[in-house]
Amino acid sequence: MARRSSKSSASRPAGTLRIVMPSSSRATPANPTPPVAVTEDDVNKLSIADLTLDTPFIPLKPKRRVPATPFHFLSLPAEVRIEIYTYFFDDVATLLDLNPHNYKRFHKKLGLMRVCRQVHDEATFAFYSTRTFRLFPTYPGKYFKSKKPLLARLKKQQRRYITSLELRLGPGWNAPPRGWVVNPALGLADCVDVERLNVFVECDPSDNIFQGWRRAEGFYEGFSRNLLTDVLEALPSVQTIQFDGWSSVKKSGDMMQGLMEVVTQAGYDIEWGPERGWTDATDIDEEMAQKPVGYPEGFPHPGYEAHGMTLALA
């Protein structure tokens, strides 16, 4: 019988030893569990403390700066705190209307009211009592046609602190928005501290420049009178009505005459705003007072000495 050659013995060089390690006493399981592969994401999830071998890593937390002697703001007199609130809200506009920029401008400032109940009450009074709120929005687009004006969006407690409102007439003179109505949802009954109503007239549709563009003769004038009447009836404490407007509006026009008639019949006081510069005089008297007086050429003006000029007489 021929002897089979062994490749292992043939390839093994002479003089070498083959060491066979003893096998483990435990038998190898039939289905060994494969090792779990470690991915890069698993490594990235490890914290720096897990990678430290000598000492555990403690994250550094900055210490909160606490003044040695805290300032007790609420220990100040109430009138001083109100004055501080006034300075804090000094950069906020004094006339507020419904527009898309309100949140960006005011939400950080109004965060002061969340400190505590006492600061909330005092800061709310300081903010709402020193600003004028527009009754119906005039910002173009969806805000102009909104059925929920800014006043209706305020809380009842906030409306109690308001002292001044503005009714602006002129926008939408040919088609007023449907939301320009006085109803309980507007919240005028809650404005118990409002003693002044500012009525600003942007245009007078009865003027000849609106000829051919009016919806109907006297339409917007009647709408404005009815709206002003409803506002005055809904306000519980109003006493003074301030009229103002653009330079094109005249007191002798149908618009202003109708509005002043409503206020006069209701028995309220009338004041004039700074924009138009109206007074108790008529339009003719005001125009004569504002018209400059002309002097002939060479004639001495008032304020100059007579001997300081040479008059050439023919």
Answer whether residue 145 is part of any domain: yes
> What pLDDT, in 10s, does the model give residues 137-192?
999 999 999 999 999 999 999 999 999 999 999 998 988 999 999 999 999 999 99
Please report which residue ranges of the chain form alpha helices under DSSP H.
Answer: 7-11, 40-44, 78-88, 102-110, 117-128, 150-153, 156-160, 219-234, 254-266, 283-290
Answer whether residue 243 is part of any domain: yes
Range of the domain at 139: 134-281
Answer whether residue 276 is part of any domain: yes
| Contacts for 163 with CB less than 8 Å, ≥ 6 apart | 129, 130, 193, 194, 195, 196
Answer whether residue 156 is part of any domain: yes
Determine the Cα–Cα distance for residues 269 and 11; give it in Å rounded to an integer. Answer: 123
Answer whether residue 257 is part of any domain: yes
Answer whether residue 107 is part of any domain: no
Q: Decide if pLDDT at 310 tops 50.
A: no
pLDDT of residue 195: 93
pLDDT of residue 293: 45
Which comes out higher in pLDDT, residue 123 or 291?
A: 123
Find the mean pLDDT for residues 256-261. 95
User: DSSP string of 160-194?
Assistant: HT--EEEEEE-TTSSS--TT----GGG-GGG-TT-
> What pLDDT, in 10s, does the model give residues 101-124?
998 888 888 999 999 999 999 999
> What pLDDT, in 10s, does the model give residues 29-42?
566 666 667 777 77
CA–CA distances in Å: residue 147 to residues 11, 132, 165, 186, 230 = 99, 20, 18, 10, 17
In total, how many domains does the chain have?
1
Query: Could you tell me the pTM of the whole model?
Result: 0.68
Answer whether residue 261 is part of any domain: yes
Answer whether residue 2 is part of any domain: no
